[in-house]
Chain A
Amino acid sequence: MSQSIQNPSTSSNSIVLKIDGLTKFFGGLRAVHNFNIEIKKGELVGLIGPNGAGKTTIFNMITGIYPVSAGHIIFKGQEITGIPAHEITQLGIGRTFQKIRIFPNLTVLDNVRVAYHPHARYNLFDGILRSQRFSHGEREMTEKAQEFLGVFGMDQHQDTLASNLPYGAQRRLEIARALATEPDLLLLDEPAAGMNPREIIELMELIHFIRDRFDLTIFLIEHQMRVVMGICEWLTVLDFGEILARGTPEEIRNNPKVIEAYLGTQATRMVA
C-alpha cells in the first residue's frame, strides 16, 4: 500500500539511502512496522509523526544502535543492516540526537577532534612516543577541527568545556561534530527541540547552509510542523510505527489523515 505512493522528488540522482520493510519489535511491542523509504542524493527529507510513533527508533536502526528485527537498510548500494554503529558512521552516516549527546567533559575543540579519530594519521604508539608523525597528525587534526569550528562560528570557544556552552551552542556543536565525521547522509533527530522561534529560524538557515556547503543529503525528524514545512522537500508521516502518508509539505498539510493523527478526530471534524 505505502510502496505505491511515488516520491514527489523525481530527480534522476542516485539513491543514497534505501530502506525496505524495516520492522522493530521491543518484546511484544511493534515499534516500527514495514517502513520503506528511498532518499536520493542531495534531498532534504523529513520524517514527522506524533510522540511515540517510532521516528527515533528508525534512526537508531539506521545508525546501528538498535538491532533490526526485520528488513533491509541499504546505504549507497551497500547493505548496512547488522553492521556495528561505528562502522556505519565510517561509511558515511552522521547523526545528532534528540536529547543532546555531546561529550560534556571534553572541550569544544576535543569534541570535534574526536570525530576525526578514524582518519587519524598516527597510531597509539606514535602518540605515546610523541613521534614526528604524532605532531604532524595532531596539528593537521587540530587545524581541521578549528577550521570547522570557525565555519560554525565557535572557534573562540574552543577551550570551553562543552557542558558549559549554552543550549543553542550545544546543538550547533553536535551538528558540527556530526559533520566532522565527513558524512554523506546526515540524520538530524529533532534539531529544533527546546529552541525558541528565533533560534528555530537560525537553525533552518543553518541546515540549508550545511547541506549546500558539505554537499549533504539530510534526513530529519521533527516534531514541530512549521520547521519541516519550511525546509523539507518532501515528508513521510509516521504513526504507531506505520507510514501514514507521504508527500510534499503542502500535500501533507492538507492530508486529513495527518491532521487526524496530530490533532485527533475531534479536531478533524472541526477543521472539516
Chain B
Amino acid sequence: MKTKIRSLPTWLTAGLFFLIVGVTFQIVFSRGWLSEYWQVIIMLGTIMGISTLGLNLKYGYGGMFALAQAAFYGIGAYSSALITKDWVVGWSGNPAGGLAGVLALDVGFILAVVAIYYLKIGRLRRRLRDGLSRWLTTFEASVLATSTALVVGVLIIVVIGGGSGWLVRQGVLTIVPPALGALPSAVSQQVIFALALLAGALLAGLIGFLIALPLLSLTYDYLCIATLGFGIIAYVFFNNADKLIPTLKGARGMVGIPQLVTWPWVFICAVIALVVMRNFIYSSTGRTVLAVRDDPIAAETMGIDAYKARTLAYTLGCAYAGLAGGLYAHLYAFLHPSVFTWLKSVDPFVMMVFGGVGSMTGSLLGAYAFVILLEGLRVLPAAFVDWRYVIYPVILLVVMLFRPQGLLGSSEWGFLKPPRIAGRKQVQGTSAGMAPAESQASESQRR
C-alpha cells in the first residue's frame, strides 16, 4: 500500500473535473473554434458513449451477450421524437399528444408490473395448483391453475395498467398544454425535450425488461441469438411504423424533429449516465450483478436472485440505449430505420471491446475513438475515403491481438475507480496460518 497525500473528496474533484471539461467544450463550441461538423462528431461520440455504457452494463458487468442495443436506441429515438415533434410541429391535434401517449405507456406499464409483482401471481398459481390437485390429476390442476393465473394477470394489466395509462393520458392532455403554454416557447421546448428524453429512456428500459423476462434464462450464445431476433423485429417494426402512427413515416424516414440537442444537453446526460452507473456498480446491488456474471450458481447459493440481478442490469442497459437514442434523434433531426438495424448493434459492441469490457472509462474512450477515427479518416484523399472500412478493422485487429481485454481492460480512471476501503483498524496476528487465532475469534462476536 502506498501512502497518499490527503486528497479532496471524490465527489468534489469529479464535480470540478466535469465542470471544467463541460465549460471548456462549451466555450470552444460557441466561439466556433471547432467546425460545426466536428462539433456534431464530438456530440455523437458522447451519445454513442452513453449507449456503450449501457451495453457494458449488460455485457461487461452483467455477463449477458446481448446484441440488440440498436433496437433500444431506436425505441428511445422514435418515442422521444414523437413527443417533441408533436409539441413543435404537431401531428396528433394536441401539442401534448405525443407526451401523453408515451407517458401513458410508461406509467401503465410500470404500474401493471408492480401490481403483478406485489400480488404474487406465481404464488397464486402454485397455491391453486396444490389445492386443486386434491381433486384433480396433477396435469389438470396445473393447467387450470396456470390459466386462472393468466386470466388474473391479464385482468390486472388491463385494469391497472390500462386504467392508469388512460388517466395519465387524459391528465397530460388537459394539464400540460396550458401549463407549458404559459412559458416562453424556447423554455417550454426545453422542458418538453427533457420529458421526452426521460420518457423515451423509460420506454426503452421497460421494453428491455419485457424482453428480459423470457430471454434471460438463456445463457451466453443463445441469448445472443434471441436478442438478435428482437433486433430484427424492431427493425421491421420501424420500417412499417407508419401503419401504426403515420407520422413515424416508416421506411421513408421521420422528418420534422426539432433540432434541440446542444452540447450542454449531451454533456449533462452523459455525466448523469456515468454517475448513476458508477454508483450502481459500486453498491450492494451492483455487486450482485458482478457476482452473477462471475458465477450465477454460486451467487444463488449466496442468497442472490440471479435472475433479478440480470433483469435489472439488462433493463438499465436498455434505458441507457434509449436515452442515447433520444439525444441522437434531436441531434440529426432525421430518423431512418437503417440506423437501427441489428448490424448497428455491433457498433457499440466494437466500441466496448475496443475500450475495455467492464470499464466505464473504456466505454467512453472506445466510443470517441470509434466515431472520431471513422470520421477523422475522411481527411484521406477522396479516392481513399472508402478505405476507412479497411483501416479501422485493421486497427481493431491489432488491438485485439495485442490487448484482447481492450485498451483499458477493466481499469478505471479518476472517480470511476472503485472506492478505496480502509483496512481494519486493529490488525491482529498473522494471516499465514490456516487455523485462525483463537483469541481473535472470541473477541469479535458475529451476531
Interface residues of A (CB under 8 A from B): 63-65, 84-87, 89-90, 94-95, 97, 101-106, 109-110, 113-118, 120, 122-124, 126-130, 134, 137-138, 141-142, 146-148, 150-159, 168, 172, 177-178, 181-182, 199, 202-203, 205-206, 209, 213-214
Contacts and interface: CB of A to CB of B under 8 A. Distances in A.
B444 A151 contact: yes
Nearest to B293: A105
Q: Is the interface of A mostly helix, strand, loop or mixed?
A: helix
Contact of B436 (A123, A146, A153, A157): A153
Nearest to B282: A127
Contacts of B435: 202, 205-206, 209
A206 B287 contact: no
A153 B431 contact: yes
B440 interface: yes
Contact of B280 (A127, A141, A158): A127
Nearest to B285: A124
B434 A203 contact: yes
B381 to A, nearest CB: 46
Contact of B302 (A115, A122, A128, A155): A115
Contacts of B291: 103, 106, 114
B302 to A, nearest CB: 5
A63 B297 CA distance: 10
A240 to B, nearest CB: 25
A147 B410 CA distance: 28
Contacts of A117: 284-285, 287-288, 302-304
A116 B434 contact: no
A65 B424 contact: no
A272 B82 CA distance: 87
Q: Is the interface of B mostly helix, strand, loop or mixed?
A: loop
A120 B284 contact: yes
B286 interface: yes
Given A103-B291, A105-B410, A85 B284 contact: no
B303 A86 contact: yes
B436 A116 contact: no
A156 to B, nearest CB: 5
Given A101-B297, A199-B434, A86 B427 contact: no
Contact of B437 (A109, A123, A148, A153): A153
B279 A130 contact: yes
B298 A102 contact: yes
A251 to B, nearest CB: 29
Interface residues of B, number: 48
B178 interface: no
A124 B279 CA distance: 9
Contact of A127 (B284, B293, B294, B433): B284
B298 to A, nearest CB: 4
B429 interface: yes
B284 A178 contact: no
Contacts of A181: 301-303
A218 B440 CA distance: 23
B214 interface: no
A176 B306 CA distance: 21
B283 interface: yes
A117 B285 CA distance: 7
A117 B288 CA distance: 7
Indicate the member of A101, A103, A123, A202 with the most B CB atoms within 10 Å. A103
Contacts of A106: 287, 290-291, 294
Interface string B226-251: 00000000000000000000000000
Nearest to B445: A147
Contacts of A147: 424, 444, 446
A239 B312 CA distance: 43
Contact of A63 (B301, B429, B433): B301
A103 B279 CA distance: 20
